[in-house]
Structure 1
Amino acid sequence: MFFVVLFAAIAAFLALRLYSVLGKRTGHEQALPQPSEERVGAPPMPRTIDMPADARETGPRPIEPGAEDGLRALIAADPTFDVGQFVEGAKSAYRMILEAFWKGDRDTLQWLVEDDVRDAFFEVIDTREAEGHVVENRLVSIERAAISEINVENKVARITMRFDADVAMVTRDANGNVVSGSMSDAVETHDIWVFSRDLTGSDPNWKLSDTDEA
């Protein structure tokens, strides 16, 4: 399944410290804060990314009550799993994947998403490039990120995340003319992303395996 706004610069710190690699448009618009200065010369992202051990989610509870049984099953299979670390990693991956999709960065998407999602993303990127369109979207803020479901089956863990975010969306043609959107207004988006990992494998990273609208 594929969501509307496709996974603004993400800080180099988040890219380097990420542990788990890890839209429905409502029509509600709001004024944007002034964009911060764009990063310059950011180092390349490593293929295995770690988060600090003391990272913890603050604010709203990062896991919904319905996911607690699945959490117990996951911890039984992988005692090192930490909810706070995972949610922070998922939020960083959400930014990374969206930015890579918008830029048409196939190399980054290749190692962040599973094959089915990769193929769907690449198809959209190919169409966009064939039409001469350039996307200048910007993730303004993630208002909420929470685990809504956890499943462990045949040693494969699948964690469903809900992201509520504000995104500025602009598409330009080959001449730089605005085809759609506006950078002066944000659109509310509501995404359901599923991240998967083989618990028996040596790769500690989670990959995006499914997407949908909330």
Structure 2
Amino acid sequence: MNYSFEYIDIILLAMIAGFIFLRLRGILGKRTGFEAKAPPQFDKILKEAVSKQTVKIKETFDKKDQKEFLKGAKIAYETIITDFSDNDNKITSSKTLLNKEIYNQFNEALKSRSARGHYAEITFIGVNSAEIKEHKKIDKILNVTVDFIAEVITCIRDKDKKIVSGDPEKIKKIYDTWVFSRDTTSANPNWQLVNILT
């Protein structure tokens, strides 16, 4: 009789162990080598980790980020200068590249030029250099100051086409220091010109 009780105990323990194994397998999954897709409960954790890492990269503004930024800054610089040279009464193509204050300042300058009967002739030759002077993060806003050296041919004429300033035959080297800004928590990757330093 004792042997039969021990035999039943062994069977019961084996059944309990099997039940626990099956429960663990159902929760953890079975490892069969490379898994093409993580179980659903891990997808959320992975997405959160990637999201946090992306925010961290944006906040660091490392050399790779700076290199990509300068590519865009050169294009923005040329776009804004060219837009300002157009003889419309307001900024058009570069509006999204300017914050509200700079946009209003540019438009006022264009209106003033137009009121005097003057118009601009500007040929953008190119950006000789663009270097980050400093970058500073205040709360979630990252400000980047850039020193530009560029070449243009520029002159201002009056309504009788007489030259008021500049020289249409001479390449002029210009030196500018601009401050760009963006919200590091925003999904919008675009920067805006927020200040022009003299």
Matches within 5 A, 1:53-92: 75=57, 77=59, 82-92=65-75
Residue identity opposite 2:69 in structure 1: F
Per the alignment, in what secondary structure is the counterpart of residue 137 of structure 1? strand
How far 1:75 moved relative to its partner? 4.1
CA distances 1:12-32 after superposition (whole Å, capped 9, x unpaired):
xxxxxxxxxxxxxxxxxxxxx
Name 1:130's counterpart in structure 2.
Answer: 115
SS in 1 for 2:185: coil
Aligned residue in 1 for 2:77: 94
Deviation at 1:184, TM superposition (A): 1.1
Q: Report the Cα offset of residue 107 of structure 1.
A: 2.1
Aligned-pair identity in percent equals 31
- What are structure 1's unaligned runs of at least 5 residues? 1-73
Instruction: Give CA deviations for 1:37-90 in whole Å, capped at 9, x if unaligned.
Output: xxxxxxxxxxxxxxxxxxxxxxxxxxxxxxxxxxxxx84626796222111110
Q: CA deviation at 1:146?
A: 0.6
Q: CA deviation at 1:129?
A: 0.8
What is the SS of the residue equivalent to 2:93? Answer: helix
More helix by share: 2
The 1-side partners of 2:65 and 2:158 are apart by 44
Letter in 2 for 1:151: K
Q: How many matched pairs?
A: 141
1:185 corresponds in structure 2 to: 170
* Partner in structure 1 of residue 101 of structure 2: 116
In the alignment, which residue of structure 2 is the partner of 1:106? 91
Contact 1:145 1:164 (8 Å CA) reproduced:
yes
How far has the Cα of 1:180 moved from its partner? 1.7
For structure 2, the 5+ residue unaligned runs are: 1-55
Query: Could you tell me which of 107, 115, 124 is aligned with 1:139?
Result: 124
For 1:169 and 1:180, the matched residues in 2 are separated by: 8
Is residue 78–residue 199 contact of structure 1 (8 Å, CA) maintained in 2? no
Relative contact order, higher structure (CA 8 A, sep 6+): 1
Amino acid at match of 2:70: V
Equivalent position SS for 2:133? strand
TM-score (norm 1): 0.61
Residues in 2 aligned to 1:144 and 1:108: alpha-carbon distance in whole angstroms: 23
Determine which structure has more spread, i.e. the larger CA radius of gyration.
2
Using the alignment, how far apart are the partners of 1:75 and 1:161 within structure 2?
Answer: 21
The answer as to whether partners of 2:85 and 2:122 remain within 8 angstroms in 1 is: yes
Q: Which residue of 2 aligns with 1:43?
A: none
